[in-house]
Structures are given as C-alpha cells and as structure tokens.
Amino acid sequence: MSNLSGNLVALQTIVRREIVRIMRIWTQTLIPPAITMTLYFVIFGKLIGSRIGNIQGEFSYMQYIVPGLVMMSIITNSYGNISSSFFGAKFQRSVEEMLVSPMSNWVILLGYVTGAVTRGLVVGFLVLLIALFFTHLQIAHIVVTLLSVLFGATIFSLAGFVNAIYAKKFDDIALVPTFVLTPLTYLGGVFYSVNMLSEPWQAISRINPILYMVNAFRFGVLGISDVHIGVAFGVMLLFVIALSWVALNLLKRGVGLRS
C-alpha cells in the first residue's frame, strides 16, 4: 500500500471518529449553541433590536446581527471541538495510537481540523435555521458565504489545535476562549458596525481577525461589509497559512506529545 493511500485511509479514520464523537455527545456539541443563539435572537434581535431601527440602510438590527451570530457559533464551536477532543486524546493518552502509527503529521492535523470544521458548519447551519424563525434572509453571494464560513472555521480549528498541544490541564483549554476568543468575538463587529466607532477604536478593531470573518460572512449574506472583501480573504488566508505552519511544526517537534 502506498503512503498516500495509507494516509487517506488514516485521514478517513480520524474524520469518521471525530464525527462519531460529535454525534455521540450531541447534547453537548450541537444543542447548547443552538439554545444560546436563540436567546441572542430573542433578546438582542427581537426585544432590543426592534427599538434600534435599521442599520446601514434597509437591514433591520435582527438581520444585521444574524451573520455575526452565525459566524460566532461557527468559530467558538470549531475551536471548542478541536481543543477538547485533541486535549482529551492527550489526557487519556489515546493520542499515542496515532503517534506510534505510520501516518504523517499533516494527516493528524487535517483529520482533526476537518472534524472541527464539520461541527462548526453543522452548528452554523442550525443557528441559521433558527434565525429564519425570527427574520427573513436572502443570501447575496453564495460563494463568498461558503468560503467565509470555511475559512472562519478552519482558522479557529487550527488555533484550537495549537492550544490543545500546549495545554497541560483542562483549565488551559478554557483560558483562551474566556480571555481571548470571547472578547475578540464581541469586539469583532458581531453586534455593531465598526464604522460606528470613533478613532482610535476603529483602527484597533481592524487588528482583530474576527472582524474580517464576520464582515466577509455578512457580505456573503447581506451584501454589506465594513472592510474590503479582498482584504478580508487575504487576512483569513494569511491566518490559515501561519497557523497551519505553526501546528505542523509543533507536531514535527513533538511539543507536548513526545518526550
């Protein structure tokens, strides 16, 4: 058997195992984000949003926040999936099953990232369905919409993987979501347009990678964005390349995995 076909079987195995895991604990992986986002739609979209009026022309506040909330679900769930699954494998030492096997490092990374992206997309789709109960949406640019969710989920899967590699205890995989991911998400233009901010806050906001993901997705769904769409995809591509390089380098050196 060639190395490539062997690696492809190994890749399928990891992806299948990850998806089985997501479905086995669906009450932890799929339902909570759907409930949380429903509350956001009810409170921010319906109750408060109805008093805010339209944003950027013809869009109601509910319509404006839907892309941001969908993207927020995608990135937090992709991140959470990979960090808890890979760290869980480290904690139980079942990661050794993969480390002593002949599969290449890129297979391990791609397998876990695919699993995490799958969960992100499933949750994103569920949240989008829920959003349709509250408002009317029409996808403006389907390719941009799909690419932006794919990039967003991939970036945060890779970031979650790096976090899991360095993590030594379960607390360590909760630190980044609490102190980095959540603030960046809330300040990434989910609930407002950064154009509403005064300087220097507008300039500071543009350092936040989540701003580009939210706006790329919002452009895909509504056709409006605070940033140039080319710049948004350029930034996301840069993050995918940089984080993939970091993750593969950590795997090669065996950081946190091999003595």
Q: What residues line the site for other proteins (CB under 8 A)? A: 1, 3, 5-10, 12-14, 16-17, 20, 24, 88-89, 92-94, 96-104, 254, 258-259
Least CB distance from residue 95 to other proteins, whole Å?
A: 8
* Locus of tokens 């949380």: 36
| Nearer CB in complex with other proteins: 28/178 | 28
For residue 195, the 8-state DSSP code is G
Least CB distance from residue 25 to other proteins, whole Å?
A: 9
Least CB distance from residue 26 to other proteins, whole Å?
A: 14
Q: What are phi and psi of 257, to 5 degrees?
A: -125, -45
Least CB distance from residue 24 to other proteins, whole Å?
A: 8
| Nearer CB in complex with other proteins: 11/117 | 11
Give the CA distances from residue 239 to residues 168, 170, 202, 216, in Å, rounded to whole numbers and listed in that order: 25, 25, 21, 15
- Alpha helices by DSSP H, the chain: 3-24, 26-29, 31-40, 49-52, 61-91, 95-99, 105-134, 142-166, 170-176, 182-186, 201-205, 209-222, 229-253
**Coil, strand or helix at 25:** coil
| Nearer CB in complex with other proteins: 101/178 | 101
| Nearer CB in complex with other proteins: 106/134 | 106
Residue 145 C-alpha from the chain's centroid = 14
CA distance 144 to 68: 15
| Nearer CB in complex with other proteins: 102/230 | 102
Least CB distance from residue 188 to other proteins, whole Å?
A: 35
- Helix 31-40 and helix 105-134: axis angle, to 10°? 40
Least CB distance from residue 34 to other proteins, whole Å?
A: 23
Reading the block at residue 92, the tokens are 């139980």
| Nearer CB in complex with other proteins: 12/182 | 12
CA distance 110 to 108: 6
